[in-house]
Amino acid sequence: MRNPLTHILGVDSNVAVLRELVRHGGALSASDIQGRSGLSRSGVRLGLISLEKSGIVVSEGSLATRLHRFNTAHFLSPQIAALYVAEKDRFTDIVESIRNSAGTQRSLLRSLWIYGSVARKEDGPESDLDIGLIADKEYLSGLVEAVRENLREPAARLGFLPNVVGLDLEDVSRLARDADPWWLTATLDVVVLAGDRPEEVPVRDRSHNYG
């Protein structure tokens, strides 16, 4: 009676299952939830059992075709749905602040991207938000300074810690040629916000010069 949120949101799998159901807005199978959330099969099953007991999730159909949905009639449904909307909107605002962080110098960017744990969707509360950018050598230092400065206010307001790494074309060619471990990791799973994918920049530059 007193603390129903403990039972609804007190386990990671509950939070993840509920997030996918709220964001989808309709009925999903357990396998759909698993694919969307990245949880294990057992994690989804345990989450659904707990959430059904709390009444925040309702299920229908036979065992083979069972579907699950967020219970919008639950007494806490408006507040819980609002939490997930706020969570999604915050990340959208973070991404947009990075996308626009070069300001009037945005056209000078060869590439701007997010990499690391955030791009891989493996970040935790203490994770930095790793940001990479590529620009011609003569513009690089000014762009890095502008991005860092323009991210100060949104970082404080939205609660994230940007870690900005700037590279020029020579840096990128060298890292790619040497198969540098950091470079391979930083370009494996990326969210590109401006320009080309980082590993494609040197190739495109050579095509421009010699094509």
User: CA 203, CA 174: separation in Å to the nearest integer?
Assistant: 13
Q: Are 124 and 190 in contact (CB under 8 A)?
A: no
Give 10-residue mean pLDDT values along the chain (211 residues).
Answer: 88 96 96 96 96 96 89 97 96 97 96 96 91 97 97 97 97 95 93 95 63 39
Give the model confidence (pLDDT) of 77-102 as tens digits.
999 999 999 999 999 999 999 999 99
> Each residue of 142-161: pLDDT tens digit?
999 999 999 999 999 999 99
Check residue 210 and give its pLDDT: 37
Q: Is 108 exposed, middle or buried (0-12, 13-18, 19+ CB in 10 A)?
A: middle
Task: For each of the domains in the chain, give its residue range(s) and CATH number, in order of start.
Answer: 4-75 (1.10.10.10), 89-210 (3.30.460.10)
According to the model, what pLDDT value does residue 50 have?
95
State the pLDDT at residue 206.
58
